[in-house]
Copies of this chain bind each other. A is one copy, B any other.
Amino acid sequence: MSLTVVGSIAFDAVKTPFGERPKMLGGSAVHFALAASFFDSVRVVGPVGDDWSAAEDAVLHARNVNTDDIEHVPGKTFFWSGVYGWDLNERDTLDTQLGVFETFKPKLSAPAQDADVLFLANIQPDLQREVRAQAKNARFVALDSMNLWIDIAKDSLVKAISEVDCVILNDAELRQLTGAPNLIKAAQEVLSWGPKAVVGKQGEYGAALITKDGFFSLPAFPLADVHDPTGAGDSFAGGFVGYVAAHPDEEIGQDLLRRAMAYGTVLGSYNVEEFGTERLQRLKAAEINERVSELAKITHFEDRPVQLRA
């Protein structure tokens, strides 16, 4: 089986109350690929510039991520700079330099096109549609996006959504996209456009899964020390989509997707423990299963009906 991800490859400058990094490896496709690499063989599609070096490739290769579809373009790699306040849910973007990402037109190699599972990380929705059309044999395609595209390319985004199996968005983005007052109504609207599953990411509060036949909600893994939330959503998506990719013989319904949510949650939780990709670079498989078991325990209560007063 194989998993292709298309998205940004970046250098990030990040400052949080717990430290800072002037230039570290980042980008949605990178965070996704490192997380998904625990589940399947992953191929990254995206552009990098002249400032990309063998050291960055080495990080991906250490997790057996295939970098053959990384396109080397004259210019600078996408650069994002941001600062988080004491409330890590809030961040200010200081600088965005698109660099080689500005003129990026994804061209998938034959093996990338042949992927069993495809993840369209947050890029312009018309590009997502072109990529989706190239991956003719994918049995599961998931998509992320952001408020920018809802603002300036909503029609394209709605079309892109109608062509995928699963949408993974922040709950605020789902409400903005649909104009619905809450996650449930927003997800129902999105399901009516075609996808079989909607994941509403809720940051430190966890994530919810909505399909036509059910609802599931999972808190974030509780952490006393969070150092940098950058990439958490992409690591979540990597764990979630990776888990689906690793189970080709199972029906894609609530059972499978709920377990995928748990793995996504755990990958996201490790992501935020350190800056950028630092924690995932040295993450061990056993740590993942351990934390999933812990997550099952901390969300369990015994359903024991009681005699109530009329």
| Interfacial residues, chain A to chain B (CB-CB below 8 A) | 17, 37-40, 64, 86-88, 181-185, 188, 202, 204-206, 208, 214-219, 222-224, 226, 243, 246, 255, 258-259, 261-263, 284-285, 288-289, 292-293, 296, 298-306, 308-310
Contact = CB atoms under 8 A, between A and B. Distances in A.
Contacts of A258: 300-302
Contacts of A226: 181-182
A303 to B, nearest CB: 4
30 contacts: A17-B181, A37-B309, A38-B309, A39-B306, A39-B309, A40-B309, A86-B181, A87-B181, A88-B181, A182-B226, A183-B222, A205-B205, A206-B217, A215-B222, A216-B298, A217-B219, A217-B222, A217-B298, A243-B306, A258-B300, A258-B301, A258-B302, A259-B304, A261-B301, A263-B306, A285-B310, A293-B305, A296-B301, A296-B303, A299-B299
Copy total for this chain: 2
Contacts of A181: 17, 86-88, 226
Q: Is the interface of A mostly helix, strand, loop or mixed?
A: loop
Contacts of A255: 302
Contact of A224 (B37, B185, B202, B262): B185
Contact of A301 (B39, B216, B246): B216
Given A202-B205, A285-B310, A289-B306, 10 more contacts: A17-B181, A88-B181, A184-B223, A205-B205, A214-B298, A215-B222, A216-B298, A216-B301, A243-B306, A262-B301
Given A246-B306, A308-B288, A309-B38, A218 B183 contact: no
Contacts of A188: 224
Contacts of A206: 205, 217, 219
A205 B222 CA distance: 14
Nearest to A289: B305
A293 B303 contact: yes
